[in-house]
A and B are shown apart, each in its own frame.
Chain A
C-alpha cells in the first residue's frame, strides 16, 4: 500500500512530513491527531475500503472528498466505532482505538460525531440535546456556553422540530463539542441545507470549530465545500486515498487526469515533451510534472484549467483562432466552450472569462494559454 501519495511527494515541495509521525510526538495539548493505517472493510463480498492510509494532524481541518458510494460514510463509521474494521489500525493521538484484537467502544473514544441531518434527539429540548453527553453537574454552565458559541443562546428550550435545518446542524455540532472530543467527525453536514443557507452555515461551522481548536474531519462529495473549508483534502477513490494535499495543491497539481477532472473543470489535451516544455496544438508551453524527470519527446497528457486560457479579439495578431460554440453565464464569470479551428479533435476547450463578456455563440476569437501546465505520462490509449 505504498503508493499513497502524501503532500510532500508532490511538486510543491512543501515540507509535510506527516508520515513520519513527528506531529504525534510533539502533540501534548488536547486536540489529537488521527492516524489510520492499512484500513480494510468490506460488506459481504463488496470491498469498500482497501488499505486506506491517512494521517490527520492535530488541530487541522481535513476534508475527505469522494463521490457517492466511495466509502466516505463507512470510513466515518469505523472511526466513530459504530462498525469494526476487517483489518487495520486507527489511532487517536497516541491511543490505539482499533487494531489487532482491539476495538474501543464508541462511548470511550471521545469522538464528536455530527451525522447527516443532525440526528437531534426529537424528544429532548435543544439544551438537553447539547447536555446529553455531560454529567448533571457539568450541564448547567457548559450548555449555555456552548449554545452561546453556536449563536443559539435563546433557543435552549425549543424542540428540534421547531428549528430550521441550519440551526439543527449547529445544535448537533454543539452537542458533539460538549464532550470536548479529541476529534470531530462531520458527515456531509451541509448536504440537506438549502443552497443559500449552506454558505452561511458553512462559515459559521468553520468559525466555531476554529474557536474550539479541535481536529476536524469533514466528509463530503461537494468539491466546493472541501476546497473552501479545509486545510487539507484527501480524495477517497477505490477504497484508498488517491491524493492528500492542500486545496491549492490538489487543484493546481492533481496526481492524475481522473483527479484533475474530479476536482474542478479541466481541459485535457495531448502533447509531446521537449525538455522543460511541452508541444501542444496550442503552442509550446512550460511544463511541470510529478516525481522523477520525464524523458524528452515522450507523449503526455496536458492539463489546462479553464482560467489558464486567455481570449483575444479575432483580429489580434497572436493566438490560435477558434469559434465559440456555447456559453454558460454564471454572473461572476462565464465558461465558454470554444472549438479551436486547427484541432483534430471535436472536443471543445473550456475557457473561463470574467462575467462582463459580450461574446455569443458563433463569434470568432483567438486564444492562448498561460503556462506552466501540468503533464503526466500519457497512458496507453483506451
Chain B
C-alpha cells in the first residue's frame, strides 16, 4: 500500500482558526534555511535520476523510450489506471453516501469496516486472491485486486466532505425546483467533487507506483518492468529511461487533478452553525444496500484475511518462522518509527513557514515538496541506491540509514498533511495571549503550543509509520544485507510459493498497521470540532 492519506488533497482545509492575523515579522531565516534544506533533500532522487539518464546518453535514453516495449507498458498502465480509478470513484463515493447520508442500518460499524482494507497492503490482498485461485491474474485480476485494495482512498475524503458540507444546500436546491435525482447530481456530487477528484488522484498515483500486487498477478506495468531491469538484469539505463516516463505520467496525473478541480470553492454559508443532515430513508432499497456492503467488505477484507488464516492452518510451519517473525517485526517497527519521526521533523519547518509567515515564495516552497508525490517509491529507491553505489563511493549503500531516508522522502507529503493540520490548530494568537499573561517564550511553547500541536504531530507520525510498515517496493531494493522486514520476508516466502510461511507475516503487517489507523481515525474525526464556539 502506497499512500493511505485520508485528506491529502481533499478540500477540507481545517476551519478558519481563531487567530489574530499574522503580521510580518523580520524574515524567519532559520525556517527558510531549514525548509530549503528539506526541499533539496526531497528533490535529490529526481536530480539523481536525471543525472543517471544524462550519464547514459540522451540518444540511448530516447532509443530506450521509443520502442515497442514502452508502448505496451504504457497501454497496460494507462488502461488499468483508468478502469480502477473509475471503479474506485464509484464504489468509494457510493459507500460514503450510504454511510453518511442515509439511514442504512449499522452505519457506524460499516464506516469502520469499509476503511480497514487500507491497513492491508496491496500485495497482501493480491496474495490472498492469487493464492486461492489461479484465475485471478492479468488485467482482470489486477482490476479486481486493486479496486478492492484502494477504494477507501476515495471513500475517506468523500465521506469527510459529506460530513462537513451543508445539507441545507440540498434543501435549497429542492426548493428551487430541482428533483431528487437532479439535486443529487448537481448539489450533492457537486459538493463532493473536489474530494472525489482528490481521492482519484491518490488512487492513480498508487496504481502508478504499485509493484508487489502486479508482480504476483503477473501483470506487467512500468513499475514491474523497471524493477526487473534494475534488480534482476542490472540494466540501469533502461531502468532510468522507463523511470523517467513513469515520473512523467505521475506528473500528468498530478497536474490533471489541478485542472479538473477548477476554481470552484466549497464553502458553507453562514457561520459555524451546522445542522445535522436528516438522513435519506432507504425504504425498500435497504436490503440491497446491506447486501452490497456485506459483499464489498467480504471481498475486500474477508478474502485477504481469510486466505492468510487458511494458509497458516494448512501450513503448520509456524514454529519455523517464530524467530524470524519477531526479528522482522522489530526491524520493521524500528525503521518505520525512525522514518516517521524524520518525516515529521522535516515537515515542521516547511509547514511553519507556509502557515505562520505570509509570502508567495514560502507557499511555493511548500508546494514544491508535493513533487515527491510524482516519485514512486521504486524510483526513489532506485535513484538513491544507484547514486550511493556509483557516485558516493558506496557510502550508505545497502544500509539502514539509506532505507530510512528513502521512507522519509517517500512519505514526506503525508507527514506534511498532518503537521500542517496540527499547526493550524495552534494559531499565533494563542501564543501572543499566553505571553501577554506574563509567560516567557519557552513556557508558552510548553504549555500552549505543544499541547495544541501534539495530536496532529502524532497523526503525522502514525500516517508515515503505517505507510512504511506496509511498504514493499523500495524496501526490497534498499534492505540492508542480512536483514529482513515483515514485507521482504513475506515476499521471499511468497515467491517460493511457501504460502503457509508467508501468511503469518501478512497478518503481522496488518496487525501493526491497524494500530496507528485507529489513532488516525480519532484525530481526523476530532479536527473540525476544535476551537469553535459551541452553542
**Which residues of A line the B interface, CB within 8 A?**
43-44, 73-74, 77, 80-83, 105-113, 115-119, 121-123, 132-133, 160-165, 168, 175-176, 178-179, 187, 192
B181 CB–A CB distance under 8 Å: no
**A43-B24, A44-B24 as given contacts; A163 in contact with B437, CB under 8 Å:** no
Complex Cα distance, B532 from A111, in Å, reads 26
Task: A165-B533, A176-B437 are known; give 15 further A-B pairs, CB within 8 A.
Answer: A82-B435, A107-B437, A107-B438, A119-B430, A122-B530, A122-B531, A123-B451, A123-B452, A132-B434, A132-B447, A162-B534, A165-B535, A168-B533, A175-B437, A192-B533
B439 at the interface (CB under 8 A from A): yes
Contact with A along B495-535 (1 / 0, CB 8 A): 00000000000000000000000000000000001111111
Q: Could you say which residues of chain B place their CB within 8 Å of the CB of A119?
A: 18-20, 429-430, 433
Is there a chain A Cβ closer than 8 Å to B436's Cβ?
Answer: yes
Q: Are B435 and A121 interface neighbours, CB within 8 A?
A: no
Q: Quick one: closest A residue to B447, CB to CB? A: A132
From residue A325, how far is it (CB to closest CB) to chain B in Å?
35
Q: Which chain B residues border A112 with CB–CB below 8 Å?
A: 436
Q: Give the contacting residue for B18; candidates A43, A73, A117, A164; CB below 8 A.
A: A117
Which of B20, B437, B452 has its CB near the most chain A CB atoms (within 10 A)? B437
For the complex of A and B, the 7 pairs showing the least CB-CB separation, nearest first, are A133-B437, A106-B435, A113-B436, A123-B451, A107-B435, A133-B438, A161-B534
- The complex places the Cα of A89 from the Cα of B25 at a distance, in Å, of 20
Q: Are A164 and B535 in contact (CB under 8 A)?
A: yes
**Residues A122 and B452 in contact in the complex (CB < 8 Å), given A82-B432, A163-B533:** yes
| CB of B23 closer than 8 Å to a CB of A | yes
- By beta carbon, the residue of chain B nearest A83 is B23
Most buried by B among A109, A117, A164: A117
Complex Cα spacing A106 to B435, Å? 6
Q: How far is the CA of A107 from the CA of B25 in the complex (A)?
A: 18
Contacts of A81 in B (CB 8 A): 435-436
Q: How far is the CA of A160 from the CA of B432 in the complex (A)?
A: 18
Return A40 CB to nearest CB of chain B, in Å.
Answer: 15
| Chain B residues whose C-beta falls within 8 Å of the C-beta of A110 in the assembled complex | 438
Residues in B1-52 with C-beta less than 8 Å from chain A: 18-20, 23-25
Q: A43-B24, A121-B430, A165-B533 are in contact. Are A132 and B436 (CB under 8 A)?
A: no
Contacts of B530 in A (CB 8 A): 122, 161
Residue from A77, A80, A111, A118 within 8 A of B23 (CB atoms): A77
For A44, list chain B residues within 8 Å (CB): 24
Interfacial chain B residues near A160, Cβ < 8 Å: 533
Given contacts A73-B20, A83-B23, A123-B451, contact A132 B532 (CB under 8 A): no
Give CA–CA (A218, B429) in the complex, Å.
18
**A163 CA / B529 CA spacing, docked (Å):** 14
Nearest CB on B from A100, distance (A): 18
Instruction: Report yes or no: B432 in contact with A107, Cβ–Cβ below 8 A.
Output: no
Contact of A179 (CB < 8 Å), options: B19, B437, B448? B437
The A/B interface has a contact count, at CB < 8 Å, of 93
Separation of A72 and B452 alpha carbons in the complex (Å): 29
Contact B23 A109 (CB under 8 A): no
Contact of B436 among A107, A118, A165, A168 (CB under 8 A): A107
**A115-B434 Cα distance, complex, nearest whole Å:** 11
Q: Please measure, in the bound complex, the distance between the C-alpha atom of A46 and the C-alpha atom of B477, giving whole angstroms.
A: 56
What A residues does B440 contact at CB under 8 A?
A: 105, 107
Residues from chain B with a CB closer than 8 A to the CB of A176 are: 436-437
Report the separation of the CA atoms of residues A162 and B429 in the bound assembly, to the nearest whole angstrom.
Answer: 20
A161 and B532 contact, CB distance less than 8 A? yes
Q: Which residues of A contact B429 (CB under 8 A)?
A: 115, 119
Cα distance, A103 to B535, chains bound together (Å): 40
CB distance from B195 to the nearest CB of A (A): 26
Chain B residues near A (Cβ < 8 Å): 18-20, 23-25, 429-430, 432-440, 447-448, 451-452, 529-535
A140 to chain B, nearest CB (A): 17
A residues near B20, Cβ cutoff 8 Å: 73, 77, 82, 115-116, 119, 187
Judge whether B436 and A161 touch: CB under 8 Å.
no
CB distance from B523 to the nearest CB of A (A): 14
Specify the chain A residue showing the minimal Cβ separation from B443: A107
Question: In the complex, are the beta carbons of B438 and A179 less than 8 A apart?
Answer: yes
Min CB distance B77 to A, Å, is 47
Q: Is the CB of A107 within 8 A of B531?
A: no
Q: Shortest beta-carbon distance, A368 to chain B, in Å?
A: 47
Which chain A positions have C-beta within 8 A of B452?
A: 121-123
16 contacts between A and B (CB under 8 A): A73-B20, A77-B23, A80-B436, A82-B23, A107-B436, A108-B438, A113-B432, A113-B433, A117-B18, A117-B533, A119-B433, A121-B434, A123-B452, A161-B529, A162-B534, A164-B533
Minimal beta-carbon separation of B145 from chain A (angstroms): 43
Note all chain B residues with C-beta closer than 8 A to A105: 435, 440
Tell me if A161 and B437 are in contact (CB < 8 A): no
Which residues of A lie under 8 Å from residue B532 when comparing CB positions?
161
Residues in A neighbouring B436, C-beta threshold 8 A: 80-82, 106-107, 109, 111-113, 176
B24 partner residues in chain A, CB cutoff 8 A: 43-44
Task: A74 to B21: give the CA distance in the assembly, Å.
Answer: 10
- Of B18, B432, B438, the most chain A CB neighbours within 10 A belong to B438
Please, how many angstroms separate the alpha-carbon atoms of A133 and B436 in the complex? 9
In the complex, what residues of A have CB within 8 A of residue B534's CB?
A: 161-164
B434 and chain A: residue at smallest CB distance: A132
Complex CA gap A340/B19 in Å reads 50
Q: Are A132 and B533 in contact (CB under 8 A)?
A: no
Find the A residue at minimum CB distance from B24.
Answer: A43
Contact at B448–A121, with CB atoms within 8 Å? yes
Residues of B within 8 A of A73 (CB): 20
Residues on the A chain within 8 Å of B447, using CB: 132
* Contact, CB under 8 Å: A107 / B23: no
User: How near does chain A come to B463, taking the closest CB pair, in angstroms?
Assistant: 22
Q: How far is the CB of A72 from chain B (nearest CB, A)?
A: 12
Return B456 CB to nearest CB of chain A, in Å.
12
A43 near B23 with CB under 8 A, answer yes
Report the bound CA distance from A119 to B452 in whole Å.
13
Assembled-state Cα–Cα distance A43/B26 (Å): 11
A192 to B533, CA, bound (A): 10
Report the bound CA distance from A132 to B451 in whole Å: 14
- Of all chain B residues, the one with the shortest Cβ separation from A159 is B534
Q: Let me know if B531 and A80 touch, CB within 8 A.
A: no
Closest to A48 in B: B23
Q: How far is the CA of A107 from the CA of B433 in the complex (A)?
A: 9
Whether the pair A106, B432 counts as a contact (CB closer than 8 A) is yes
Chain A residues in 8 Å Cβ range of B23:
43, 74, 77, 82-83
In the bound assembly, the distance between CA atoms of A107 and B19 in angstroms comes to: 19
A117 to chain B, nearest CB (A): 5
Tell me which residues across on chain B come within 8 A of A118, comparing CB atoms: 18
The distance in angstroms between the C-alpha atoms of A115 and B437, with both chains bound, is 12
Q: Please name all residues of chain B whose beta carbon is closer than 8 Å to the beta carbon of A83 when the two chains form the complex.
A: 23, 25
Task: Indicate the member of A83, A113, A118 with the most B CB atoms within 10 Å.
Answer: A113
A116 to B427, CA, bound (A): 13
Closest to A193 in B: B533
A335 to B79 CA separation, bound complex (whole angstroms): 71
Which residue on B lies nearest to A111, using beta carbons? B436
Shortest Cβ gap from A42 to chain B (Å): 11
Q: How far is the CA of A123 from the CA of B434 in the complex (A)?
A: 13
* Residue numbers in B under 8 Å from A161 (CB-CB): 529-534
Name the residue of chain B whose CB is nearest to the CB of A76. Answer: B20
Complex Cα distance, B434 from A74, in Å, reads 18
Please, how many angstroms separate the alpha-carbon atoms of A122 and B430 in the complex? 9
Q: How far is the CA of A52 from the CA of B440 in the complex (A)?
A: 29
**Residue among A118, A119, A133, A192 facing the most chain B CB atoms (10 A cut-off):** A119
- Closest residue on chain A to residue B439 by CB atoms: A107
